[in-house]
Structure 1
Amino acid sequence: MDFTLHQMKIFLKVAELGSITRAAEELFLTQPAVSIQLRNMQDQFDVPLTEVIGRKLYITPFGREVEKHARSIVREMEQMKHQTMAYKGYLAGELKISIASTAKYVMPYFLSEFMNRHPGLDLTMDVTNKQKVIRALNNNEVDFAMVSVIPEKLKVNTIQLMKNTLCLVGASGKEYQIRKPKDLEDTSLIFREKGSATRGAMEDYLRLHEVDSHKQIALTSNEAVKQAVIAGLGISIMPLIGIRNDLKKGDLQIIPIKGLPITTYWQLVWLSDKELTPASKAYLEYVESQKQQVIDKHFSWFESFDPEKQISI
């Protein structure tokens, strides 16, 4: 047998997600690339690892046995790599972070320089909705989470990073007859899916101003919401951090309205009683000492944004 570590990692991700498409997205590969590597690994065995029933991919019983061995091999190889880096004097190990989907516009900037300083570290960053982020944190599956709303009923430590500003946005070129919150009642409103912090903020705003929305559309990502708004399908309350380029290009406009924008703060959180690894401790030290430099370098436009004048975009 002559399968590679790369093939095993791809097979493990496909086995975990049950989907070649989703595995490709998480691995930042194209779907054909994942399919080719999966087929190359299958060629090493005379017994099928997967089967397709009704257009859905399943791992066979034999495939599950291979999965167990592959996971063990990958784990051993990662440990060997970390030990090699440690002997060479590098900080070694893995940093696991789960972040709310909007935080993908923020978190990488608080990681890139740290990871460049420590080539012996591996990074796993899961981008999902708030509910799944909190679940991963609660189950001790990650070292840190990044959210804009502190989880209830969990004892956590936090570091406040930067503002998260949410504005009402619509397609450019359209004249919206919206002057007060009640005007939203007969307007098509586009929401994120249930469990999203952005959806929660939007629902809280409508509840606070006693708005009974009659036309609602729910979509599963900020990108999908943004494209729907640009197309004129409706309006939405969206995080400013993810629409800067669309405002600059003139695809979106901010609609002034009472009670908006809403400002929260992105928070780096971790369980209070968690035993931090050397890598986790080093990252906390980095964030505490460098967060303002990161904000000044990459987010000065955001910190100085004036929603009334819509400047500094």
Structure 2
Amino acid sequence: MRKSLMRMTLRQLQVFRAVCDSRSYSRAAEEMALTQPAVSLQIRQLEELVGQPLFDYIGKKLYLTQAAEALRRASSDIFQRLESLDMQLSEMQGSLQGQLTLAVESSAKYIVPHLFAAFRQHNPEVILNLSVVNRAQVIKRLSDNRDDLVIMSLVPPDMALEFLPFLNNPIVAVAPPGHPLAQAETLRLQDLESYPLLVRERGSGTRKACEEYFQQKRVHFAAAQEVSSLEALRECVVAGLGIALLPRHAVGLELAAGLLKELPVEELPLYRTWCAVHARGKRLSPVAQAFLDFIRTERAQISALSERFAGRAPEPDSGS
């Protein structure tokens, strides 16, 4: 190993990671409670130790060099190992402590905080670092090993991943109560074709699932309008701008309040499954392993949460 690398400090790596995340020296300085010259000095010293430049300015934008990408991956490993050490030391003291870093597809954000809250009842010293992104961003974060676990559906088959399915994600067709289809007793997917369809942005897991299903069912929507966030899409449907296929968990409150109506389409719901995912061979921290064990063993509690967010009371236990 180069002797110069042994002179790196954890503080330098923290500053480096802040610049990588923000793509800005000034924002990194604000985040780290430093001056911008102090950040610049830390990065220059780090470049001297690495022996290569870490950042390029192109058109007033900051880009990571190949050396920076390699250092970023190495620093992530270092800090994950330190976090794991902290958790292991806490376990030795008889309590589970530390941070759980989760990235979730945007339509899972309605259920995951409540899932974590149930987990935290048994582990009150654990804190949550939650990132809400679309499916394409989840896959990128998996590749970069940025999180303890990710929550997604449609797990990519071409990546070396371990995944635990734990909750159905029913996708339903919704419309405002005054929509011409809202009074129908039964519908087919083809009945929706002539009405404007609102869809998520490219990279969305819900959009990908629906497009694959439409292709399978040979359904074609002539008029489709893209909306870049789930919340905006939901409000567009409430406003009467079109119909949409959305996760039932994401519209439970609107369905219960009568702002939206679930259309009785025979081929729906379209069921996908939420999975907890991590890279195959990844060394999970004690907190991440405990969370994974929780969702593996507490299926009844998770099912009750799911039913609550679907706007229905959970079915009574039959005792079987």
Q: Give me the whole-angstrom Cα distance separating, in 1, the residues matched to 2:62 and 2:144.
A: 26
Task: Flag the 1:175–1:17 CA change in 2: closer, same or farther, 3 A.
Answer: farther
1:86 Cα shift?
6.1
Amino acid at match of 2:263: I
1:217 Cα shift?
0.9
1:127 Cα shift?
0.8
2:307 matches 1:300? yes
Moved more, 139-148 or 190-199: 139-148
Q: Give me the whole-angstrom Cα distance separating, in 2, the residues matched to 1:79 and 1:287.
A: 20
1:196 Cα shift?
0.8
2:192 matches 1:184? yes
Q: Give me the whole-angstrom Cα distance separating, in 1, the residues matched to 2:200 and 2:278.
A: 25
Q: Give me the whole-angstrom Cα distance separating, in 1, the residues matched to 2:273 and 2:266.
A: 20
1:31-180 aligned within 5 A: 88-176=93-181, 179-180=187-188
1:98-126 per-residue CA deviation (whole Å, 9 max, x = no partner) reads 11101111112221233343344343221
* Counterpart residue number, 2:11: none
1:73-120 per-residue CA deviation (whole Å, 9 max, x = no partner) reads xx7x98998698567543233322111101111112221233343344
Q: Give me the whole-angstrom Cα distance separating, in 2, the residues matched to 1:41 and 1:244.
A: 44
The answer to whether the 8 A contact 2:255-2:261 is kept is yes
The answer to whether the 8 A contact 1:163-1:303 is kept is no
TM-score with structure 2 setting the length: 0.68
1:22-54 per-residue CA deviation (whole Å, 9 max, x = no partner) reads xxxxxxxxxxxx9xx77x866998x9xxxxxxx
TM-score with structure 1 setting the length: 0.69
1:50-69 per-residue CA deviation (whole Å, 9 max, x = no partner) reads xxxxxx9989xxxxxxxx9x
Two-structure CA RMSD over aligned residues (Å): 4.2
Q: Among residues 286, 290, 293, which one is paired with 1:278 in the alignment? A: 286
Query: In structure 1, the residue corresponding to 2:261 is in which secondary structure?
Result: strand
Q: Which runs of 5+ in 2 are unaligned?
A: 1-13, 41-59, 64-71, 314-320
The answer to whether the 8 A contact 2:161-2:278 is kept is yes
1:182 Cα shift?
3.2
The answer to whether the 8 A contact 1:109-1:294 is kept is no
Task: Flag the 1:78–1:150 CA change in 2: closer, same or farther, 3 A.
Answer: closer
Q: Among residues 201, 208, 233, which one is paired with 1:200 in the alignment? A: 208
Moved more, 173-182 or 186-195: 173-182
Task: Flag the 1:58–1:136 CA change in 2: closer, same or farther, 3 A.
Answer: closer
The answer to whether the 8 A contact 2:162-2:278 is kept is yes
Task: Flag the 1:170–1:120 CA change in 2: closer, same or farther, 3 A.
Answer: same
The answer to whether the 8 A contact 1:85-1:120 is kept is no
1:164 Cα shift?
0.8
* Counterpart residue number, 1:210: 218
1:260 Cα shift?
1.4
The answer to whether the 8 A contact 2:163-2:276 is kept is yes
Q: Percent identity?
A: 27
Q: Which runs of 5+ in 1 are unaligned?
A: 1-8, 20-33, 48-55, 60-67, 307-313
Task: Flag the 1:43–1:88 CA change in 2: closer, same or farther, 3 A.
Answer: same
Query: In structure 2, the residue corresponding to 1:169 is in which secondary structure?
Result: strand
Task: Flag the 1:113–1:174 CA change in 2: closer, same or farther, 3 A.
Answer: closer
Amino acid at match of 1:135: K
Moved more, 126-135 or 276-285: 276-285
Query: In structure 2, the residue corresponding to 1:136 is in which secondary structure?
Result: helix
Amino acid at match of 1:300: E
Task: Flag the 1:80–1:292 CA change in 2: closer, same or farther, 3 A.
Answer: closer
The answer to whether the 8 A contact 1:95-1:124 is kept is yes
1:282 Cα shift?
2.0
The answer to whether the 8 A contact 2:175-2:238 is kept is yes
Task: Flag the 1:224–1:121 CA change in 2: closer, same or farther, 3 A.
Answer: same
2:233 matches 1:225? yes
The answer to whether the 8 A contact 1:193-1:220 is kept is yes
Task: Flag the 1:108–1:92 CA change in 2: closer, same or farther, 3 A.
Answer: same
